[in-house]
């Protein structure tokens, strides 16, 4: 896992600075995926393309799903663009863990007994610029279980 020391990100995604536009990784992924089915995630640095030239280039891009490393793409000065495509896959475990978090901390959420289960899971990209250091960006995607259980009356609620 990358060091968490001095990783920069955008302070306000609606008003990026020039430096942020060139360095914050841009993540393209489906907003909903099915657990167990691989999907593509494209990471581009940044919303304004970063230069790839001797002495100033993007060295690598990493992608994490739910905190686990999906892959790391080493880039070269000769690469035309600072981008990488990763194959990620959500799991039933990610949904289960999120259910427990919802239950114990937020007091509401998906109980898992009344039908389709899903969870919002974090996709996180980190990149390293040879001059400007580490930058990251995260977005949530929904992982939906393909297992639809027999419908039961939902007894879940904030009052319980």
**Interacting residues with Fe ion (CB under 5 A):** 129, 131-132
Residue 129 Cβ vs Fe ion, minimum distance, rounded to whole Å: 4
Instruction: Using the minimum distance from each CB to Fe ion, give the nearer residue, 62 or 88.
Output: 62
Which residues lie across from 137 on neighbouring strands?
Answer: 125
* 71-80 exposure pattern, b = at least 16 Cβ within 10 A, e = fewer: bebebeeeee
Instruction: Using the minimum distance from each CB to Fe ion, give the nearer residue, 11 or 106.
Output: 11
* Residue 25 neighbours by CB distance under 10 Å: 26
Residue 139 Cβ vs Fe ion, minimum distance, rounded to whole Å: 22
Residue 60 Cβ vs Fe ion, minimum distance, rounded to whole Å: 13
Concatenated DSSP letters of 52-109: -BTTB-EEEEEEEETTEEEEEEE--TT-SSSEEEEEE---HHHHHHHHHHIIIIIS-S
Instruction: Using the minimum distance from each CB to Fe ion, give the nearer residue, 1 or 131.
Output: 131
Instruction: Using the minimum distance from each CB to Fe ion, give the nearer residue, 19 or 111.
Output: 19
Distance CA 8, CA 127 (A): 10
Residue 43 Cβ vs Fe ion, minimum distance, rounded to whole Å: 16
């Amino acid at each position: 896992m990358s060091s968490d020391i001095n990783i920069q990100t955008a302070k306000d995604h609606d008003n990026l600075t020039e430096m942020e536009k060139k360095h914050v990784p841009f993540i393209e992924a489906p907003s909903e995926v099915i657990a167990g089915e691989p999907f593509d995630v494209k990471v581009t640095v940044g919303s304004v393309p970063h230069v790839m030239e001797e002495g100033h280039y993007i060295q690598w891009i990493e992608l994490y799903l739910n905190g686990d490393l999906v892959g790391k793409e080493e880039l070269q000065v000769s690469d035309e663009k600072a981008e990488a495509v990763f194959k990620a896959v959500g799991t039933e475990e990610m949904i289960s863990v999120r259910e427990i978090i919802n239950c114990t901390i937020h007091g509401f959420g998906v109980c898992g007994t009344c039908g389709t289960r899903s969870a919002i899971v974090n996709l996180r990209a980190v990149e390293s610029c040879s001059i400007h250091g580490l930058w990251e960006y995260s977005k949530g995607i929904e992982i939906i279980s393909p297992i639809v259980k027999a419908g039961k009356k939902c007894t879940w609620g904030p009052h319980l």
